[in-house]
Structure 1
């Protein structure tokens, strides 16, 4: 059952990821500051943040790669500790780019990874490796040495490694890094297929257009703190909308808009623009403008894009290498 069809109470009762007060200090520097992350079961959760926001450090704590300074986390309903193999066996991950043996082929690299998995059946290893390679479009390059792989091919191999076993949760850090538009589309389609099969996904990405297309939920980090999270539609609705009135009477329009508490009113060529809240009704504003004798040639309400919202919440451009 996907996030779109799962009852809300079921999703909230058992999140795929849930942290409480999760904190990480490196010496005197606090990198992750008391975050309560909730990734609903069945969701595709876009984890966003500028450089140095603490996003990757959070992911590393979730996977047991580093210990938190304070707080706790549950993965798939179970508390996670340092290197907890019982839980992490149900999680596929790609963090900070894939690393493989350069002189081995893609197939042999995956076979070595599979052999190190105590939960993997050696009798089915070659079949599962072949299926994983085929799923990410590397079947034809399975015998090629890793050192000859392009950046995009290396990224695909990393995703294949995360899919060697059936997973309940995927944690992917920049999964489309280095991919061309076609490869990016294929990864987007793959994540949609996995999610439709019941796999929850936490994905970080610097491609906001991709996040808007594949994610049902988002969370945004800034300087170690989680500044917002929730269903993508709700997060976007929480932002003020840009209202633009095209009129030959901008002064009269401004007076009416002030009565509706439209913020940041600014004259523009041929009209006036400002920010309105979700609770303000465009129909009522249009009626008030007409009743006040303001000639309305055009009336537009634009909901902010995810990029607009990101900049408004973090105050900076988008760079999620941290």
Structure 2
């Protein structure tokens, strides 16, 4: 069945809205999904995923991330708004260039892992059937499932099922990879492997959109962020947006007897300093961090430790929404 068109907004149809930004792999304008119950799952968001980015699409379960992804991929028709996938308002025309794992994989339970991949590959009209076996082997090897390729899918563990879903998304080189909770069910080793895989794909030029409620993992790989809560996009931009949203502090530990001198140096630099034992704490503000240890050493202070503490994803989210967040790894 042909995927529904994503553009449903009358203003867009009339030409009042300009086209997609050529630098974006995924873009939306005022994208909204309202269910018959009256619930607004996605409330007029303007998403922008730059080409070549690893975009961490973050928010607690139920915040609207998966619904947004399904609309962008053409799996769900939006109530209003416009979206573009790889520059096209019709996702069906570009899906062969997109790999996706959304809401967990779905496979035939009595077929083996390899047979499931070959069946998916055969459904791709743009794939060369002569090289299908090689593609399946490479995808299975990439996610660590080559040894289990002959096992029926129904015998796979949750983590193995998730790995097979990743393999399906990687059957062919993709311009865009969309991963919805890709580490669901994986043990720490599997989670680490997915993290490394995302980095490899990004280095090869693939744009990766990773939706998750686990900040610890996303924080290690993303170059750009989007934070959702209750259907709204609260924050979006490169990782540097974190520094603009919170307070960056410096922690300096000095040798005994040097605390007073160190505090004086920091005050000359314009910092408001508090001290406890041999540790000094100050809000960094606009000061370049490298100036601090240099000034301390120049003043004859023995610096034992120096740390810049930037705002974390968790703290930014709490500041924005007042809610807690799952930071499990």
Q: Displacement of 1:14 after TM fit?
A: 2.0
**Contact 1:245–1:299 at 8 Å: present in 2 too?**
yes
1:115 to 2:151 alignment? no
Q: What count of residue pairs does the alignment treat as equivalent?
A: 291
1:142 to 2:149 alignment? yes
Give the equivalent residue in structure 2 for 1:293.
Answer: none
For residue 230 of structure 1, give the secondary structure of its aligned residue in structure 2: strand
Give the equivalent residue in structure 1 for 2:51.
Answer: 41
**Contact 2:214–2:326 at 8 Å: present in 1 too?**
no
Give the equivalent residue in structure 2 for 1:187.
Answer: 194
**Contact 2:22–2:87 at 8 Å: present in 1 too?**
no
Give the equivalent residue in structure 2 for 1:79.
Answer: 89
For residue 24 of structure 2, give the secondary structure of its aligned residue in structure 1: coil
**Contact 2:25–2:176 at 8 Å: present in 1 too?**
yes
Give the equivalent residue in structure 1 for 2:220.
Answer: 213
**Deviation larger for 235-244 or 222-231:** 235-244
Mark the runs of 5 or more structure 1 residues left unpaired by the alignment: 1-11, 287-296
Give the equivalent residue in structure 1 for 2:28.
Answer: 19
**Contact 2:26–2:86 at 8 Å: present in 1 too?**
yes
**Contact 1:168–1:200 at 8 Å: present in 2 too?**
yes
**Contact 1:50–1:316 at 8 Å: present in 2 too?**
no
Q: CA RMSD in A?
A: 3.2
Give the equivalent residue in structure 2 for 1:156.
Answer: 163
Give the equivalent residue in structure 1 for 2:242.
Answer: 236
Q: Deviations over 1:78-103 (max 9, x none)?
A: 113xxx42111111000111111111
Are the structure 2 counterparts of residues 114 and 272 from structure 1 closer, same or farther at C-alpha, using a change threshold of 3 Å? same
Give the equivalent residue in structure 2 for 1:50.
Answer: 60
Give the equivalent residue in structure 2 for 1:3.
Answer: none
Q: Deviations over 1:139-192 (max 9, x none)?
A: 111001111111111111000001112211000001111112221121111111
Structure-2-length-normalised TM-score: 0.77
**Contact 1:15–1:38 at 8 Å: present in 2 too?**
yes
1:90 to 83, 91, 97: 97
Q: Displacement of 1:214 after TM fit?
A: 1.2
- CA–CA distance in structure 2, aligned partners of residues 135 and 214 of structure 1: 18
For residue 185 of structure 2, give the secondary structure of its aligned residue in structure 1: coil
- CA–CA distance in structure 2, aligned partners of residues 46 and 217 of structure 1: 6
**Contact 1:14–1:76 at 8 Å: present in 2 too?**
no
Mark the runs of 5 or more structure 2 residues left unpaired by the alignment: 1-20, 294-303
Q: Displacement of 1:267 after TM fit?
A: 10
Give the equivalent residue in structure 2 for 1:59.
Answer: 69
**Deviation larger for 17-26 or 309-318:** 309-318
**Contact 1:17–1:38 at 8 Å: present in 2 too?**
yes
- CA–CA distance in structure 2, aligned partners of residues 109 and 40 of structure 1: 32
